[in-house]
Amino acid sequence: MITSKIIANGILRAVTTLILTTLLLYFLYQIQNVLIYLIVSLILTLIGLPILDFFKKRLKFKHVFASITVLIIYILIIFGFVMMFIPLIISQGQNLSLLNTIEIEKNSLELFKQLNQFLEQHHIDTATIFDAKNYKSILNLNIIPNFLNSVVGTISNFGMGLGSVLFITFFFLKDRSIFVKGAKLLIPDSHEEKILNSVEKINTLLSRYFIGLLIQLFIVFILYTIVLFIFGIPDAFVIAFLCAILNIIPYIGPLIASILAAVLTMLSNLGSDFQSEILPTTIYVLIGFWIVQVIDNNFSQPIIFSKSVSSHPLEIFLVILIAGFLFGIMGMIIAVPLYTIIKVISKEFFPDNKFIQQITKNL
């Protein structure tokens, strides 16, 4: 028989659970930066594990020395990226300063003027849309100094975050066995074998996935660089790198990369004739980028990703598409790793389910 005391206890437990859940979510929100550091460190650890094993097994490094070597490799890669961007920062630094906002505005207006003249030659009336006075009233370049101040603050925070990530990554690599032993103490004995098997399989698959992702981005970077070099675009390495990084976002990223490449191509040729030089060069660069995307979408990406996570290319496409509709860009980025984790856990805990057997037969 249900009494008022039982109902009161149930309500009290529900309210207590709700309060504790709310406090937990609030706590996680407050330490979101730390969580991001941990996630990035975990990704770097998964990428670094095969390298660590190579140093230990093939080169006979001690575990600690192998961990330090992997960390040094990460630092050298980051340093290389920074050194690659320094020439661009130096060359563009004066244009971004307050003293040159008038020059930036002048160049931008000149580009719009040339575009307006080109369209008028083809009997397209755009006088109102591209009127320099209207554009000038909208364009407010006085925000650039404020933007630069925010960039300085971002760089400062990035430096602190980078140091934290590298520090955490080192101990993830060095003390991996300690973390595993600690986790075993928290796992119920009845599920210990299944959970440990899942963790080991997830570790292997995600390591392969992130390494495959790096290979894919490197291939795209090389192809983008070749396209930009062919058409003589300044800072080709930096532009290609930025566009390649955008490919982390499936399907949408390449579109943004193409738009970015087109804008930077037009700005790099500013001062040339729009119809005979700027427009044709931009079109050629876009065609080159689209050819790269065809190669990436039909060859490198399906082969690398399907092999690394043991999933069919169509399966990956549908997972990314669904995640994009449900959770936006971030969902598209984490779709494949999360789907891989779900597949591995499902295979361990529901091995007799026919649907699970079908989608995990290659695991």
pLDDT, tens digit (0-9, with 9 covering 90-100), for 219-255: 899 999 999 999 888 878 878 888 888 888 777 888 8
Q: Say if residue 218 is in the same domain as residue 177.
A: no
Lowest-confidence segment of 70-74, 133-137, 232-236, 308-312 by average pLDDT = 133-137
- 123 and 198 part of one domain: no
Which range has the worst mean pLDDT, 82-86, 103-107, 301-305, 332-336? 103-107
Assess whether 21 and 160 both reside in one domain. no
Domain that holds residue 41: 33-186
Residues 307 and 220 grouped into a single domain: yes
Residues 8 and 64 in one domain: no
pLDDT band, very low/low/confident/very high, at 135 (cuts 50, 70, 90) = very low
Which of 186, 217, 246 is the C-terminal boundary of a domain?
Answer: 186
Residue 108 has pLDDT above 80, yes or no: no
- Structural domain total, the chain: 3
Model pLDDT, residue 69: 92
Task: Please identify, among 147, 171, 186, the residue that sits at the C-terminal boundary of a domain.
Answer: 186
pLDDT for res 95: 42
**84/146 same-domain check:** yes
pLDDT at 303 over 80: no
Residues 119 and 145 in one domain: yes
Boundary of a domain, candidates 186, 201, 218: 186
Please say whether the beta carbons of 314 and 321 come within 8 A: no
pTM for this model (two decimals): 0.66
Q: Return the pLDDT at 99.
A: 38
More confident of the two residues 19 and 106: 19
Proportion of the chain above pLDDT 70, given as a percent: 72
Q: Do 5 and 65 sit in the same domain of this protein?
A: no
Residue 81 has pLDDT above 80, yes or no: no
What is the Cα–Cα distance from 46 to 308, expressed in whole angstroms? 13
Yes or no: say if 112 and 130 are a contact pair by the CB < 8 Å rule: yes
Q: Quick one: 296 and 181 in the same domain?
A: no
* pLDDT value of residue 72: 92
* Total Cβ atoms within 10 A of residue 53: 12
What pLDDT does residue 126 have? 55
Please name the residues in contact with 285: beta carbons below 8 A apart, sequence gap of 6 or more: 227, 228, 231, 233, 261, 262, 265
Whether residues 166 and 235 fall in one domain? no
Q: In this structure, are 151 and 247 located in the same domain?
A: no
CA dist 335 to 98, 248, 319, 325, 327, Å?
A: 42, 11, 6, 11, 10
Give pLDDT, residue 87: 61
The per-residue pLDDT of the chain, averaged, comes to 76
Give one word for 88, left, alpha or beta, with left for phi > 0 and alpha for psi -120 to 50. alpha
- Looking at the fold, whether 8 and 48 belong to one and the same domain comes out as no
